[in-house]
């Protein structure tokens, strides 16, 4: 490894740019050497915007560069597994956006490639690094809530994605709830043994026509006895709603949404505060930076990644079980 860690970013979309910015601004030990995108223009633009020396159309150019120590896989979901496997073979450390893949088999192939080549892989469950949820985890771990009995997660988007996105997304449970499944596993420190999903299409009939749902309530039984509940909506009229509540034998913790300001104004209509920060980029900006710092630290100090491909696999399995539960109208066991 050279004096500075060198990374390549595969995928010059929104999240690729977010990670580039975090690295440039906050991680002086790391240099972004190259970016690639199937849309070459996007790679060029990102390269010039962030002062990245090389821009490619083909990600193999990044994998073949012996100077590059690690890659960030920020391309479309269907390419994650293939690129991750090739990156592992090329002995690059890997940061891979979620989900790794929509099938368990492919995720397992990634796991094997990573192990075989002895590289590190971290999955982009950024919410674990969010200031609010970290505080919740800290209160649990400190024992301030006692034994945890119930974990409740509310996760609602400000507006539904466009229908093309929906078609390729794997559906609500694999695209949206997967973050909540990971959060539930993170907070409980345990594995799900049963899922029951009630879901419906209440917001956008086009979503229903694709066989997908936009509203769901999912209950989870955990191996350690904790009961979990997640509720999702693709559209909250008041904005991005991201809250958790954990109830235990000694107390409860809840988080509220982040808002652009703390201003509270009282007028003839009532007392008003601002809507939540608009969407995931605004809401979770600090967590994207934090996960990137942690990933670089994992490589530089040879640590275990805090979010592994196992975590990606487990959430995928829960998501697939939730899909099945919704279809059957019955709880579904995981093994």
Q: Which is nearer to a second copy, 306 or 331 (CB)?
A: 331
* Least CB distance to a second copy at residue 269 (A): 7
Whole-Å CA distances, 1 to 9, 64, 69: 18, 15, 7
Q: Which is nearer to a second copy, 57 or 245 (CB)?
A: 245
Q: Which is nearer to a second copy, 75 or 132 (CB)?
A: 132
Longest alpha-carbon distance in the chain = 66
* Least CB distance to a second copy at residue 74 (A): 21
Q: What is the DSSP letter of 263?
A: -
Coarse DSSP helix, strand, coil percentages of the chain, rounded to the nearest 5 percent: 40, 25, 35
Q: In whole angstroms, what is the distance from residue 169 CA to residue 102 CA?
A: 9
Q: Which residue has the tokens 């279809």?
A: 327
Alpha-carbon dihedral of residues 299, 303, 304, 305, nearest 10 degrees?
-40
Tokens of 126: 């950024």
Q: Which is nearer to a second copy, 179 or 234 (CB)?
A: 234
* Least CB distance to a second copy at residue 334 (A): 14
* Least CB distance to a second copy at residue 326 (A): 12
Q: Which is nearer to a second copy, 26 or 168 (CB)?
A: 26
DSSP helix/strand/coil, 329: coil
* Least CB distance to a second copy at residue 170 (A): 22
Q: Which is nearer to a second copy, 146 or 211 (CB)?
A: 146
Return the closest-CA partner of residue 316 out of 177, 144, 161.
Answer: 177
Return the closest-CA partner of residue 46 out of 72, 70, 66.
Answer: 72
Q: Which is nearer to a second copy, 75 or 215 (CB)?
A: 215
Return the closest-CA partner of residue 196 out of 332, 317, 335.
Answer: 332
HEC profile of 178-208? HHHHHHHHHHHCCCEEEEEEEEECCCCHHHH
Return contacts of 253-260, CB within 8 angstroms, 24+ apart: 253/135, 253/136, 253/139, 253/140, 253/144, 253/145, 255/132, 255/133, 255/135, 255/136, 256/132, 257/283, 258/132, 258/283
* Least CB distance to a second copy at residue 118 (A): 34
Q: Which is nearer to a second copy, 60 or 275 (CB)?
A: 275
* Least CB distance to a second copy at residue 139 (A): 6
Give the binding site for a second copy (CB under 8 A): 24-26, 131-132, 134-136, 139, 144-147, 149-150, 152, 156, 196, 198, 200, 202-203, 215, 217, 219, 221, 225, 227, 229, 231, 233, 235-239, 241, 247, 249-258, 260-275, 329-331
* Least CB distance to a second copy at residue 155 (A): 12
């Amino acid at each position: 490894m050279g004096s500075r860690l060198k990374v390549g970013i595969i995928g010059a979309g929104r999240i690729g740019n977010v990670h580039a910015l975090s690295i440039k601004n906050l991680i002086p030990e790391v240099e972004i050497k190259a970016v690639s995108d199937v849309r070459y223009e996007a790679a060029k633009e990102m390269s010039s915007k962030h002062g990245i020396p090389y821009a490619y159309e083909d990600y193999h150019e990044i994998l073949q560069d012996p100077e590059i120590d690690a890659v960030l896989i920020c391309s479309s979901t269907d390419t994650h597994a293939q690129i991750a496997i090739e990156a592992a073979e090329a002995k690059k450390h890997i940061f891979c956006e979620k989900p790794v893949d929509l099938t368990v088999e492919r995720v397992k192939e990634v796991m094997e490639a990573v192990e075989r080549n002895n590289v590190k892989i971290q999955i982009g469950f950024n919410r674990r690094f969010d200031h609010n949820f970290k505080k919740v985890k800290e209160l649990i771990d400190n024992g301030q809530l006692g034994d945890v009995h119930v974990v409740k997660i509310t996760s609602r988007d400000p507006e539904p994605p466009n229908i093309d996105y929906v078609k390729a997304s794997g559906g609500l449970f694999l695209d949206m709830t997967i973050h909540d499944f990971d959060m539930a596993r993170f907070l409980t420190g345990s594995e799900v043994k049963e899922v029951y999903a009630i879901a419906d299409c209440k917001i956008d009939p086009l979503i229903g026509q694709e066989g997908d749902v936009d509203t769901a309530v999912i209950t989870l039984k955990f191996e350690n006895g904790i009961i979990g509940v997640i509720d999702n909506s693709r559209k909250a009229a008041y904005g991005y709603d991201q809250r958790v509540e954990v109830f235990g034998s000694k107390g409860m913790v809840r988080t509220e949404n982040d808002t652009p300001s703390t201003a509270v104004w009282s007028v003839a209509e009532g007392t008003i505060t601002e809507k939540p920060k608009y969407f995931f980029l605004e809401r979770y900006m600090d967590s994207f930076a934090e996960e990137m710092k942690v990933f670089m630290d994992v490589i530089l100090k040879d640590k275990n990644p805090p979010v592994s491909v196992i975590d990606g696999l487990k959430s995928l399995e829960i998501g697939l079980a939730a899909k099945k539960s919704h279809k059957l109208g019955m709880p579904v066991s995981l093994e």
